[in-house]
Structure 1
């Protein structure tokens, strides 16, 4: 009987899927290309919004279930053990059911756009939901927004693949999924659009805004239908700006810039150190989770996403953060509370690094907002306790979120409008603009790349917000280089060089050693007058150091080498064997073709 029920359910879902696919294919045949794109962005947005709902509800309910169990069983330190279980379960599921690995971080979306023609694995549509729900829902100190954006992007990408849409439409639907995810997670449609533009898309025309706007609006509508105010991060209470506090907001922006640099660098060190700790993934997961459990034991606010802590700070109830901690009895001592909040702010990046480095899944979006709220509260509280001025704690708490988000993700517009939307208006738009721009400028001065893409940028792989670099790194040097290249061997004779330059179309000749290594090159322009002479003479002084690169290096690195050396030719090696050469003209011609192909309209 049970098997019959399952088979009936499976048959029903198969028929439903087939009917949906048939319906969409019929629409595609009837509608124009642009009309079908508008329809598609709504479908992708609904799917992305439903994924956000599942993630948010799971994490929210697990958190409140934990609080309930703590009160029922009087086990105040159970929170310290749950992340260990969550991270171990996450690693187990990844190893047993997800082929041993999943891609983490919004940087994976950027790689898909820049290097993989906007194609993302189908498993990302469900893998992120399962793994991040377990990690964050059971107390891992990370955020759900990164998994949300990857899930939305994967839905857009795979939808486009199913219906055979071209690269431009595929990339646009990928961005639509991201915009809808952010819009749903925060009920912030403008922030969803801006995040997709600032972080995901390299270049786009004005007409591409329409699908993003439709998707983001759809996500916000779904948020209102499926998520209540208790789950959404919301401060709808009319916050206003007093221009007399401008110097203190400027101070907050400056401090936030340096805290952003501190947070990003220490997070990278902890995550990389933890990820290299052991080849045994279970041992690594257990050790990392145990260290995280120790931190949560000392600082309970590190448990989970932590959005409820922001509300406590904004309501001037910071003493609640000391609940279930070793310092609970000092909750009414303002200086102790201030010191505790400061310590939590400083170790949040360590907790997030341990969570992700040990094998858990999550992101840095929520931690950036948490740390920003702590910093805003600290600055306002210090100003008040020192007797300088009583500045509004709630204003500084929410404005601090924008400052850290801007500094860490290098996305000031997203930061400004996200906080403006979750506060229910634009009463704080001026301080939001001030702190976001100052924090961004200082962070950019010390960290060229945002924290999510720093690692891949170091490898020269991709940096999507840099349009030129993005396009250059799409170029496949392996299919572009010239393999027909005449060489001369040592000892070099004038006759050999003359034979190459008179018989072949190349303006330089590589000089090879007896072992097959490139010793240098002789340029035609350096020796053209001597070629007319029949005399034999030493060519040593004409052998110059060549530009040499691996055939696997990206076009961006090769162009950079050309510009540094002021030489438009680069020899290409593979496993120390000379394969040929590439010219600047060849790369730039390919760049122009890709530029036209990549522009999203």
Structure 2
């Protein structure tokens, strides 16, 4: 109570002395700092756990603990999320987009820390996913809940969610520009010029926290050693097409494997199956363990042979065919490993897997070209980095984020031209087959996320259950016309649902159906309602989205349709009531 009193006094003072615009800017800086601290904490926690678990591994041998670590991590994550946090995991950024679209940008308070705890266990024990999505969820939840605490409206809360994600990405990669662009491309559907300032402030604050606490020890970084050569452009064009196809493969396989493992009944059974399968894959291909940035660093430094360390295929002598087969195996299996981790109950994201897959793809592409001798040797490190941008651009449908992220983590813009070429071509390639990203596709298919259509966006904000009309008087199918006429006297509506004792809708009777006989005494005594009723043109369910409901109105030409829930009558929904709710939502958005 004391805290609420102090908060109320602060909010009153704020309204009197600080404009909303300036207050949002100040708040965005605070959110950026907190998100930066969260990112640093998560990164350090995971790496400490990974180093502890793998410190005694010998690179000359396959390490059998790989078979058990992922299972332990996924089961612990499941127990923590299900019984303590009581939270369902999955693709975290998809959940944030759903909260923005359908929950007025309100994110559960527990998500300010839950994804940090669960992803530490999952990734620390070798789950083949990344930390970026969990920390974006954390930053977004921080932004949403601070916005609620200080009584900001929907649009301002949404902006603060973007600030939280910008600060998180900026801190974990030390890439403030990429943090801002990620928020704009992936999190925020609409951005105005005034929104840039809070996003910039939050991103800069996140980066400063990271630089202060970690220095150069960020999640992943590399200093360029080779220059961009213009004559390599044709190879970059082919790499763009190749990474686009790899991104498509990743997206399709992740969706397919997740769907398959989620069909397994029982959370614990699913976790055991996923953990055992993942452990086996990591035992065969150790680079699948965790995020995989160590593997990318080895490839960038020219130590390709080192990717065979800790595996059954370790060899002191560089073997071209073994490295090619090993890298190709990683590309083919990585999406399966990622899907097993997330689908079986683990916590993590596909941001890092897309970067990892892109790095291996770019390396293998350049490695094969160099071994063929068809041209002068091309830079393995440059193609590895640009490949990271290509696959990430395709999987996330965020080419600008991919371009600026790689540019920033390499501390320069030497590769800006090839980054632009590969990212653009990769994005165009996958867009031909997949219109939406792996984050947005499930939401778009359910009608929970709509882009570039203001009418449908506003319509999607209407909750069907809130516009159901329950004031229509019902009549039993065995009642007489006389009993129905008695209802007409008290009803303000001209539709009468015919409902039996089990609350099942048998049909409807309208005033027009009985107008000519309702005053005939003989008819009132002898005619039964079930002989007068007729079926409605269609019905809707309480779980349908508004797009589906409006399509039914359009097809039937009706103005009123019954609402059924599991076969039981709930009420009616009218087109006029929906239009009225639409008008109110539109006015409210314009005011905000």
Between the aligned partners of 1:383 and 1:72, the Cα distance in structure 2 is: 29
Structure 2 residue aligned with 1:128: 115
Structure 1 residue aligned with 2:184: 197
2:544 is the counterpart of 1:553: yes
Structure 1 residue aligned with 2:193: 206
Any conservation in 1 of the 2:261–2:343 contact (CA below 8 Å)? yes
Any conservation in 2 of the 1:569–1:583 contact (CA below 8 Å)? yes
- Displacement, 1:415? 1.6
Any conservation in 2 of the 1:90–1:135 contact (CA below 8 Å)? yes
Any conservation in 1 of the 2:473–2:497 contact (CA below 8 Å)? no
- Displacement, 1:408? 1.2
Any conservation in 1 of the 2:210–2:218 contact (CA below 8 Å)? no
SS across alignment from 2:166: helix
2:93 is the counterpart of 1:106: yes
Give the 5 Å matches for 1:435-446.
435-446=422-433
Q: 1:288 aligns with which of 267, 270, 274?
A: 274
- Displacement, 1:256? 1.9
2:370 is the counterpart of 1:384: yes
SS across alignment from 1:573: strand
Q: 1:402 aligns with which of 373, 389, 398?
A: 389
Structure 1 residue aligned with 2:308: 322
SS across alignment from 2:564: strand
Q: 2:285 aligns with which of 290, 299, 308?
A: 299
Structure 2 residue aligned with 1:371: 357
SS across alignment from 1:69: coil
1:326-370 C-alpha deviation (Å, 9 max, x unpaired): 111275112220111011111011111111222211111100100
Give the 5 Å matches for 1:499-510.
none
Any gaps of 5 or more consecutive residues in structure 1? 1-13, 491-502, 531-542
1:267-318 C-alpha deviation (Å, 9 max, x unpaired): 122223223323152x432332111111111000001111111122222222
SS across alignment from 1:141: coil
1:38-83 C-alpha deviation (Å, 9 max, x unpaired): 1111111111111100111122223333442224998844344322
Structure 1 residue aligned with 2:524: none
1:395-433 C-alpha deviation (Å, 9 max, x unpaired): 211111121112111122212221222222222222222
Query: Which shows bigger deviation, 186-195 or 144-153?
Result: 186-195
Give the 5 Å matches for 1:14-413.
28=14, 30-71=17-58, 76-99=63-86, 101-102=88-89, 104-237=91-224, 240-281=227-268, 283-329=269-315, 332-389=318-375, 390-413=377-400
1:83-114 C-alpha deviation (Å, 9 max, x unpaired): 22222222232234212645652111111111
Any conservation in 1 of the 2:101–2:448 contact (CA below 8 Å)? no
Any conservation in 2 of the 1:175–1:196 contact (CA below 8 Å)? yes
Shift in alpha-carbon separation, 1:513–1:358, aligned structure 2, 3 A: closer
Between the aligned partners of 1:411 and 1:471, the Cα distance in structure 2 is: 25
Q: 1:594 aligns with which of 585, 589, 592?
A: 585
- Displacement, 1:131? 1.1
1:469-494 C-alpha deviation (Å, 9 max, x unpaired): 4433211122335556799999xxxx
Q: Please give the TM-score of this superposition, normalised by the length of structure 1.
A: 0.83
Between the aligned partners of 1:455 and 1:338, the Cα distance in structure 2 is: 35
Shift in alpha-carbon separation, 1:567–1:419, aligned structure 2, 3 A: farther
Any conservation in 2 of the 1:314–1:397 contact (CA below 8 Å)? yes
Shift in alpha-carbon separation, 1:398–1:22, aligned structure 2, 3 A: farther
Query: Which shows bigger deviation, 444-453 or 290-299?
Result: 444-453
- Displacement, 1:556? 2.3
Any conservation in 2 of the 1:208–1:600 contact (CA below 8 Å)? no
Between the aligned partners of 2:47 and 2:173, the Cα distance in structure 1 is: 14
Aligned residues: 572
Between the aligned partners of 2:508 and 2:321, the Cα distance in structure 1 is: 68
Between the aligned partners of 1:600 and 1:575, the Cα distance in structure 2 is: 38
Any conservation in 1 of the 2:61–2:314 contact (CA below 8 Å)? no
Between the aligned partners of 1:206 and 1:395, the Cα distance in structure 2 is: 34
Shift in alpha-carbon separation, 1:504–1:122, aligned structure 2, 3 A: closer
Structure 1 residue aligned with 2:441: 454
SS across alignment from 1:371: helix
Any gaps of 5 or more consecutive residues in structure 2? 478-489, 517-533
Between the aligned partners of 1:523 and 1:421, the Cα distance in structure 2 is: 70
SS across alignment from 1:451: coil
CA RMSD of aligned residues (A): 4.1
Any conservation in 2 of the 1:235–1:423 contact (CA below 8 Å)? yes
1:425-454 C-alpha deviation (Å, 9 max, x unpaired): 222222222222222223233223321233
Between the aligned partners of 2:553 and 2:415, the Cα distance in structure 1 is: 48
